[in-house]
Amino acid sequence: MLIKRGLATFFCCTLFLLLAFTAYADDAATEVIDAEITLHNDHYVVSADMVYQLSKRATAALQSGVPLFWSIQIKLLQPRHLLWDKTLFTTEIHYRLQYHALLNSYRVTNQNSRETFNFSTLYAALDLMSAIHDIPLIEKSKLSLKEDYLCALKVKFDGDLLPLPLRPLAYIDKQWFLSSNWTLWPLKK
Amino acid sequence: MASEKVKLPVNLFALILFGLILLSLQLMSSATQESSELSALYSWLLLINSLGSIVLLTLVGANIYTLIKHTKKREAGSRLTRRMVSLFVILALAPAVIVFYFSMQFLHQGIDSWFNVEIDRALEDALELSQSSLDQRMRWHLKQTQQLTKKLEDSSENREALELENLRELSGASEMTLFSRQGRIIASSSINPGDILPSLPDRNIWLQLRQNGEYIAVAPAHEEKLMVRVIAKVNIQEPQYLQALYPIPVRIYDLADSVEFAFVRYKEMKFLRHSLKISFSLALSLVLLMSLLAAIWVAFISIRNIIEPVKQLVKGTQAVASGHYDEQLPVFAQDDLGFLVESFNEMTHRIAMASDETRIAGIEVENQRAYLETILANLTAGVISFDASYNIRTANQAAYRIFHIHVNQFIGRQLLDLLKDRPELTEPLKSIQRSLEQADDIWQQRIAFLGPNGRQELLCRGTPLYSQEGLRVGGIVVFDDVTDLMQAQKNAAWGEVARRLAHEIKNPLTPIQLSAERLQHKLADKLDAADAEMLKRSTRTIVHQVEAMKEMVDDFSEYAQPSKKETVDIDLSRLIQEILALYALKSGVKFKTHYETGLLMVNGDSISLRQVLHNLIKNALEAIGAEGLIEISVHRVQKNNTDFIELALYDDGPGIKDDQIESIFEPYVTTKTKGTGLGLAIVKKIIEEHGGAIWIDTSRKVGAGFIIQLPACHPEPL
């Protein structure tokens, strides 16, 4: 009886925390403002624009030399009846943003292509990460004309790559909720 | 053994859980090192340990709840468990809290000690120095590039590419490019001939360039090196821009990089100072919390195992206290408590045996007591026992039959309390009480009293009771109703007297009478008239007296003979009516009769019963004289579960004197001037020979009253 009551309390607390997290997630600082899929040489490609907004604490951490990591997650989904969506394709673009005190500049590294970009302002650095162009999704021939498909995009702030002391706080502090929600839009054939 | 088998998995589970907790804490401790490979798992380890803490907290909470519940119910061993757990928690908590407090102090002070203003300023100064050094180099390169643009302004358009190569070599730049105003590459020269495409300025650089006319910045180059990018305007007809990339010497770059690394690292640590404290405090708190919770939980299990035999002992003791002497407890271990449990088992075994023996002995005693009580209850003799204060302890059924008092209702009270309803017993009971209190040995006495059925004679024997120590603890009185025995003895004596009288006296009477008559006959003629007359009178006197003596002897003879000669069923009411019819002519005497409805049958000799009624009526008539009232009533009574017909006869004569009441039924006792005194004696003899009883109703204050009870007869239906 007691164990049941304890478990009930535990689940209630967990649910409350999840709801709290969901509420925080609704206030996500990053947003996907535009996304489209186009057909390019028999390949569907995706282009999107995002807006990053850093909290005061995240900006302070960045100014103190703490590198910040984001990953832009792109998925092609096939909705199914009574089942979860089937993932046909998934890709991620990883960015690393760091401040260089010596040169007073911001360095963005695309960890997929190993390209590095230096910017004198934070705005310019974030601007680089704000747009993706023609990321190939899937060949047209691999898709059925009868089926409907969805494209999902999310900018995820990777808190697990923060310095260790910051990680526990990053799970509970709203200032570190820098991810966007999933944005879904249909694939037009 | 069975319980050990059950407990082993629990202990094993506890050990495994404890091991997992330690492993998890160790992993988390390792993960806090930034360089550790486990650092990626830090969040998961933190979550696992938090969940572990919650699980342990739940377990400890459940144990505390159970303990509180048991304590409230006052279950065996709960209070000892509470004390031991409290003691353990206090003993474990006190040093842990002290260590925790000082650890936190050291931790916070240690982290704070990493930072101070001097280092802060020194690092900022070092960075500023590096930046100044780079600035100086940049300004120098700008000046140098501006001079080069002058040279380019002087050179012709066709020779620009060649001139650019010369200028690059002259200036020591790694790359030099000439752009048009629109950003088109006019000419380019690089120290590395393999570089086909020169480094292009981005949109921001162009913006600055158009605003300021020149641009200078230190920018990262390939292979993580720094270079100075300088763009200066070439003022010719169609303005152009010269971009020169100057490599920064490796040594300067290394130094600047080192300074920057140290500065950034310090600044990062400074920023993380608060988080670091929280993080370490959290880890330390989690370690302490889990250790404490695990220890408390294990303490609960251990204490429960230790307390279990004590709990069993308490339960066993309670069971023994409530009379379950055959309680046997399981022996958990061969330690001191196990020895105690074994001793308890041995004790209860012995108590159970002793209890059984006592119970059996008790049953035997009870059986014997019941047997004795049965015997006492069925004794014809009355038995009354007394305690040391002479209060009645027991009395048997015969006591009631003899005294007609429910002596059993007077248990715990004095013997003289019986007098309340029976004042006629005053003297006999006082006599018994006196003997009971005074006699030191067996005593015997006869007592007589007038009971409801007439005079009763009792033979009392009593003895004081002594304890083994010789103390007087009470007494016992046994009494027999010897009324019938005494009466029988008297009757037998009178019968013998009557028989002898009849035999010894009646025989000479006839010769006496004949001799007297012969004397009269022979001498009457020979004597003169006077003598003859005297002889005649004397002879008549002799004859009359002889006749009278004959009558008397006949009466005795009749008294001595059995009266119940021929028994028949007699309707008593009819018999009375027949007899009363003979006396109806007697003027001045009234008869008042009352018969209960229904047959009032008795079994007996009708002649004898007629004689009884004649005797009683004659007596009554003689008592009342010329005028009076004789009342006769007949009804049924029940006594000792036997039906009797009771005949009551009352007159309104002078009555019987008190001193004659006790002996009125004895021969030769009479209140009349005439008569033999055998009338009532014969009546009593006949009634007793018919199984009945006769006594004088002493409650009647006017005249005399006789009550006769005869066993009722239930004639067979025809």
In chain B, what is the straight-line distance between the N-terminal and C-terminal CA atoms, in Å? 86
Half-sphere exposure (Cβ direction) of B708: Cα atoms closer than 13 Å = 25
pLDDT above 70 (res B666): yes
Q: How far is B306 from chain A (nearest CA, A)?
A: 24
Say which range, A62-66, B298-302, B454-458, has the weakest mean pLDDT.
Answer: B454-458
Say which range, B66-70, B90-94, B336-340, B670-674, has the weakest mean pLDDT.
Answer: B670-674
Measured between CB atoms, which of A101, A124, A168 is closest to B279?
Answer: A168
Inter-chain touch A101–B264, beta carbons under 8 Å: yes
Residues on A contacting B at a C-beta cutoff of 8 Å: 2-3, 6, 10, 60-61, 64-66, 100-104, 107, 116, 118-120, 124, 160, 163-169, 171
Q: How far is B104 from chain A (nearest CA, A)?
A: 16
The reported pLDDT for the residue numbered A21 is 46
CB A137 within 8 A of CB A45: yes
Beta strands in B117-200 (DSSP E): 175-179, 185-190
Q: What is the mean pLDDT of residues B620-632?
A: 85
Q: What is the mean pLDDT of residues B383-389?
A: 89
The reported pLDDT for the residue numbered A164 is 83
- Check the CA dihedral A166-A172-A173-A177 and report its sign: positive
Say which range, A135-144, B295-304, B397-406, B448-457, has the weakest mean pLDDT.
Answer: B448-457
Strand partners for B463 = B476
The reported pLDDT for the residue numbered B377 is 81
The reported pLDDT for the residue numbered B607 is 86
Please give the residue that has the higher pLDDT: either B374 or B658. B374
Measured between CB atoms, which of A103, A120, A165 is closest to B272?
Answer: A165
Measured between CB atoms, which of B54, B62, B275 is closest to A169?
Answer: B275
Interface test with A, best of B33, B35, B58, B284 (most A CBs within 10 A): B58
In B, minimum Cα distance to A119 occurs at B204
Q: What is the mean pLDDT of residues B253-261?
A: 87
- Check the CA dihedral B39-B41-B47-B50 and report its sign: negative
Inter-chain touch B271–A168, beta carbons under 8 Å: no
Inter-chain touch B58–A3, beta carbons under 8 Å: yes
Q: How far is A142 from chain B (nearest CA, A)?
A: 37
Inter-chain touch B43–A100, beta carbons under 8 Å: no
In chain A, what is the straight-line distance between the N-terminal and C-terminal CA atoms, in Å? 57
Give me the residues of B, 47-106, that contact A with CB < 8 A. 54, 58, 61-62, 65-66
The reported pLDDT for the residue numbered B199 is 82
The reported pLDDT for the residue numbered B563 is 61
pLDDT above 70 (res B76): yes
Mean pLDDT rounded to a whole number for chain B: 83
Closest CA to B651 of B575, B591, B581: B591
Q: Where residue B1 falls among pLDDT bands split at 50, 70, 90?
A: very low
Strand partners for B479 = B382, B460
Q: What is the mean pLDDT of residues B280-288?
A: 84
Specify the long-range contacts of residues B672-681, CB closer than 8 Å, at least 24 apart.
B672/B622, B676/B552, B676/B555, B678/B555, B678/B556, B678/B559, B679/B615, B679/B618, B679/B619, B680/B615, B680/B619, B681/B494, B681/B559
Closest CA to A118 of B231, A109, A127: A109
* ipTM of predicted assembly, 2 dp: 0.73
Question: With pLDDT > 90 as the criterion, what percentage of chain B qualifies?
Answer: 5
State which residues of chain A have pLDDT below 70.
1-28, 189
Q: What is the mean pLDDT of residues B658-662?
A: 75
- pTM comes to 0.54
